[in-house]
Amino acid sequence: MPESFRTEHDSMGELQVPADALWGAQTQRAVQNFPISGRPMPRGFIRALGLVKAAAADANGGLGLLPERLAASIRRAALAVADGDHDAQFPIDIYQTGSGTSSNMNANEVIAALASARGRKAHPNDHVNLGQSSNDVIPTALRVGAVLAAEEDLQPAILHLRRTIDRRARGLKKVVKTGRTHLMDAMPLTFAQEFGAWSAQLESAQARIADALKRLRRLPIGGTAIGTGINADPRFGARVCAALSKQTRVKFASAENRFEGIASQDDAVEMSGQLNALAVALMKIANDLRWMNAGPLAGLGEVELPALQPGSSIMPGKVNPVIPEAVGMVCAQVMGHHTAITVAGQSGNFQLNVMLPLIAANLLESIQLLANVSRLLADSVIDGLSVRRDIIATALDRNPILVTALNPVIGYEKGAAIAKRAYAEGRPVLDIALEDSGLDEKTLRALLDPEALTRGGIHGKPGGGGG
């Protein structure tokens, strides 16, 4: 059955719009102009755009610039958009006009149509967009969307991963393993110490993100076209921020300098940088897990990750570390997004950045990807991994680096000779040290106790860590 159309018009003339579409002429022009990726703006951005429009209606109604009933009708329609009731009405590609004007007008037209359906005629520009410009709405929605996604989803996901790691660490605090530097055997440490380093990385990432969010909460709404606030009540921006804060229970503030908030997206670039740092931490954790799981016979084989799916279409019985691999791909994508956001952040001249939709989409996707894999890493890997204590103990006994603890007693050169012989003969360090160090077995066992070595200090001297 052929699709039916209706005729709409804008300042450039008439064009055909699908009959059942809530959008109007300007949205339709954008649909026709930007058939690029087939990817519309993300849900988090549409949500933020709806929230901004609802807050703007609140502000305009409170200032007496819109009739109370019309303001209420626009607010209800905008909140329905924010809630995701009309996502199919937002078809415009991510790669559109750099100011995001197309997305702003898309929201204006859809909200106006919804509000008008209640009997109050609402105009997209004159009513829904009152006191606003795409140039301050889109940077505001960008920030609101990123803040909400980070606070509601990402930070809790990181905390969940940290708590899972910490819980497993407590259960493994007495299990000693071989440490590694340069991928080579090094001094021993406990699983709790190794896992604790991961947790500390994530705690630092959380703190950096929280600090970046302080600046991302400053909104340029009220600056309109370039930051001067032309055609907006001077009280409008602060009232919108107050309404947004009430709606979301997140404290937003009116930017002290709206020119900066429109022309510069440095706070978004900063936030992306912190997401990039988190991606670095998660990739390090994922790769450590892959190495520890490697084998199980010809690799390190220190841990066994939960078996989630067959690993090979040709090698029966093979099981791969699929979640850590997925984490690595996500982290690579986030790093790529950060590069794109960095380029986009400096892509503007004078009073307007012209890559706002790209910044918004990439920032939100990075946040969502990192939140999702953090939970997966916690629940599908860390929570269920098992430690292969036999493998760990065997490797630890034969670790020639244990002789490091003898340095204060027998000296570096003699220790090196013992380590070299132990490695060459494939024998425990203790056995070689008994033969070559001149120290008795009791002393050597105390000095070479792997668990004692994890506590650091100087061993073999009065006041030293090993006694």
429 and 321 co-located in one domain: no
DSSP assignment of 59-75: HHHHTTSS-HHHHHHHH
Domain count, the chain: 3
Q: Answer yes or no: is 244 within a domain.
A: no
pLDDT 10s digits, 22-39: 999 999 999 999 999 999
pLDDT 10s digits, 262-315: 999 999 999 999 999 999 999 999 999 999 999 888 889 999 999 887 876 666
Q: What angle do the packed helices 134-149 and 191-216 form, to 10 degrees?
A: 160
For the cut 80, the answer to whether the pLDDT of residue 467 exceeds it is no
Q: Answer yes or no: is 3 within a domain.
A: no
121 and 202 co-located in one domain: no
Question: CATH number for the domain including 373?
Answer: 1.20.200.10
3-state DSSP assignment of residue 296: coil
For the cut 90, the answer to whether the pLDDT of residue 318 exceeds it is no
Please give the DSSP secondary-structure letter assigned to residue 40.
Answer: B
CB atoms < 10 A from the CB of 413, how many? 8
Domain boundary among 130, 154, 172: 130
66 and 144 co-located in one domain: no
Domain boundary among 366, 389, 412: 389
Q: Answer yes or no: is 337 within a domain.
A: yes
pLDDT band at 118 (very low <50, low <70, confident <90, very high): confident
209 and 303 co-located in one domain: yes
Which of the residue ranges 297-306, 313-322, 449-458 would you say has the lowest mean pLDDT? 313-322
196 and 78 co-located in one domain: no
Mean pLDDT of 15-22: 96
Mean pLDDT of the chain: 94
Range(s) of the domain holding residue 366: 136-215+259-389
pLDDT band at 458 (very low <50, low <70, confident <90, very high): confident
88 and 147 co-located in one domain: no
Q: Answer yes or no: is 85 within a domain.
A: yes
DSSP assignment of 251-295: --EE-S-HHHHHH--HHHHHHHHHHHHHHHHHHHHHHHHHHHH--
186 and 317 co-located in one domain: yes
Q: Answer yes or no: is 73 within a domain.
A: yes
Are 360 and 144 within 8 A, CB to CB? no
* Choice between 453 and 239, residue whose per-residue pLDDT is larger: 239
351 and 379 co-located in one domain: yes
Are 66 and 130 within 8 A, CB to CB? yes
In this prediction, residue 1 carries a pLDDT of 52
For the cut 50, the answer to whether the pLDDT of residue 110 exceeds it is yes
For the cut 70, the answer to whether the pLDDT of residue 405 exceeds it is yes
149 and 184 co-located in one domain: yes
Q: Answer yes or no: is 235 within a domain.
A: no
50 and 74 co-located in one domain: yes
Domain boundary among 130, 153, 176: 130
288 and 183 co-located in one domain: yes
Catalytic residues: 182, 312
Q: Answer yes or no: is 436 within a domain.
A: yes
313 and 376 co-located in one domain: yes
* Choice between 88 and 399, residue whose per-residue pLDDT is larger: 88
